């Protein structure tokens, strides 16, 4: 989707990228989304001298309002999100148990570095 910063809105202009640049941005966007482990995301790009730069790519709950996306892109987003939700509901994929406590346990404290917890919740070294 092309964004016009002066108008502060997205434009319906399907051919604003060359086919080659469009393929690269799509591939790089999917790489970012998969690396972040998101089911949905928006990735915003700035293009300067033909080189794309990811400028905003951590939007796990993106703005999908019809007034933001414009009707054609809104319809595309709703159709694809609905298909994904139905697919995940009927064929759940296995997931790793990603819990914060596992990350915290993986970093042992240095020897002699102990924190005692006293009544009232105050800790001291």
pLDDT digits 0-9 by tens, 10-60: 888 878 899 999 999 999 999 999 999 888 899 999 999 999 999 999 988
Q: What is the extent of the structural domain holding 60? A: 2-93
Overall average pLDDT of the 92-111 stretch: 70
Q: Which residue has the tokens 């009232």?
A: 120
Q: How far apart are alpha carbons 125 and 117 in whole angstroms?
A: 9
Q: Is residue 111 part of a domain?
A: no
- Whether 122 has a pLDDT exceeding 60, the answer reads no
Q: Is residue 100 part of a domain?
A: no
Angle (CA) 84 86 91, round 5° = 95
pLDDT at position 23: 94
pLDDT at position 92: 84
In the chain, the number of structural domains is 1
Record the pTM.
0.66
Q: With cut-offs at 50, 70 and 90, classify the pLDDT of residue 82.
A: very high
Nearest to 60 by CA among 74, 39, 83: 39
Burial letters 6-43, b for 16+ CB under 10 A, else e = eeeeeeeeeeebeeeeeeebeeebeeebeeeebeebbb
CA atoms within 13 A on the CB side of 83: 6
Q: Is residue 25 part of a domain?
A: yes
Least confident of 1-10, 55-64, 85-94, 103-112: 103-112
Q: Is residue 23 part of a domain?
A: yes
Q: Is residue 116 part of a domain?
A: no
């Amino acid at each position: 989707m092309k964004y016009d910063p002066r108008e502060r809105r997205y434009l319906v202009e399907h051919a604003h990228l060359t086919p080659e640049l469009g393929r690269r941005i799509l591939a790089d966007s999917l790489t970012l989304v998969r690396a972040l482990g998101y089911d949905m995301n928006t990735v915003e790009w700035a293009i300067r001298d033909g080189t794309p730069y990811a400028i905003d790519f951590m939007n796990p709950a993106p703005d999908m309002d019809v007034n933001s996306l414009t009707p054609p892109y809104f319809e595309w987003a709703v159709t694809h999100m609905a298909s994904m939700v139905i697919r995940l509901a009927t064929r759940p994929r296995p997931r790793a148990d990603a819990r914060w406590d596992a990350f915290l346990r993986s970093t042992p404290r240095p020897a002699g570095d102990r924190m005692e917890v006293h009544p009232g919740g105050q800790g001291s070294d």
